[in-house]
Structure 1
Amino acid sequence: MKLPALLLSLALVPASAMAADNTCLSNKYHQYIDASLSWYESLVSMSVAKDENLKEVGEWFLEGRKHHFELNRQAFDWYLTHDQSRLDLSQSVESWLKLTQVDVKALSEQDSELATFAKQAFEDRQSKPHPKNYELRSAFADLLSHPGEIEKPLQEYNSKIADLESIECNGK
């Protein structure tokens, strides 16, 4: 009776270790998503502070970024559990998920929870740009060409990325 119980407990160890690794990888990727969204929020906020006329386009832009990153968050977790062929965990965390526009379109046509996120992101990519999109992008370019103006949010982003890159998940 003791031998079957021992064998069963040994068989469960790899499964629980894999679940812990997946949780660690998921948390690490989620931190990357959160850091990225925070960075974009900072860029929009600084741009709007310089030109109040960019408020509406900034909100539109952030909504699109949120849809994109939330799709990536959900897709990463799904692929981590179901099909790791879409993940390249040997790369930096920013490059772990490999989704093309074709992949997003295919996901959007499925009947799943992931499809809801994919539909939003795909529709954003296919929709007509906001009339002031070019003005916002120009404001971003202006900010990025003056490193002193973006030093604080850029350091915060880089610090968050460095912190999460130092997290070890089964050697990743």
Structure 2
Amino acid sequence: MKKAFVFAMVSLSALSSPIALASNSTQCQIDKYNTYIDASIKWYQDLSELTSTANPELKQVSEWFVKGRVMHFELNRTAVSLLLSEQPDKVATELDVESWLQLSQQDIKALSQRDDELGQAAQASFAYRQAKPNPQNYEFRSALAELLSHPNKIQPALDAYNSAVQSTNQIKCN
């Protein structure tokens, strides 16, 4: 019985140690960023759906566009998750969550040389960005711009996105 009590006390003290707290904080930050990424992907999926519903001939290019946005956000998700653990100074957690990570094209190219999950995500994103654009890219971007110029058409999706990001920014990680 005494051993169980001592074990419990040691376990509790480990939970409150700086290392355990840092680990909990890192996981909280990863979860917070993941919530932002999920909201962002949903926002682009909603915009894509609205655009292709109004312009059915752009459905394929709309899917191509979303695929690129998903690759971009999944790269960022992987980068933040690894960097928070390995190089936390590379993630600006003092800012709103949408500004935590800024990767340039050069950064992505450099990351693509890694031999891990982050390298694979960077390779996919870099290849997508360097590839020839979809032949209907201009038409899709024009239709998307037209959609965005009519706030009433996107308001429910925009409200959902803004609400999700605002809620995410309210999460406090210690």
The normalised TM-score by structure 1 is 0.91
Quote the Cα distance in structure 2 between the aligned partners of 1:127 and 1:167: 38
Q: Shift of the alpha carbon at 1:12?
A: 6.6
Which residue number in structure 2 is paired with residue 84 of structure 1? 88
Q: Which amino acid aligns with 1:30?
A: N
* Local SS of the residue matching 1:109: coil
Matching of residue 32 in structure 1 with residue 29 in structure 2: no
- Aligned CA RMSD, in angstroms, stands at 1.8
Question: Does residue 139 in structure 1 map to residue 122 in structure 2?
Answer: no
Within 5 Å, which residues of 2 pair with 1:57-96? 57-96=61-100
The aligned runs of 1:159-170 (5 Å cut-off) are 159-170=163-174
TM superposition score normalised by structure 2 = 0.90
- SS of 1:110's equivalent in the other structure is coil
Give identity over the alignment, percent: 43
The one-letter code sitting in structure 2 at the alignment partner of 1:166 is: Q
Structure-2 change in CA distance of 1:83 and 1:144 (3 Å)? same
Tell me the residue number matched to 1:97.
101
8 Å CA contact 1:86–1:98 kept in 2: the answer is: no
Q: How many residues align?
A: 166
Structure 1 residue runs of 5 or longer lacking an equivalent are none
Q: Which amino acid aligns with 2:127?
A: E
Which deviations, in whole Å up to 9, do the C-alpha atoms of 1:41-75 show, x marking residues without a partner? 00000011111111110111111111111110000
What one-letter code is carried by the residue in structure 2 that aligns with 1:24? Answer: C
For 1:12 and 1:32, the matched residues in 2 are separated by 28
Letter matched to residue 104 of structure 2: T
Structure 1 contact 144–150 (Cα < 8 Å) conserved: yes
Q: Describe the shift of the 1:37–1:10 C-alpha distance in structure 2 as closer, same or farther (beyond 3 A).
A: closer
Q: Distance in 1 between matches of 2:66 and 2:34?
A: 17
2:114 paired with 1:118: no
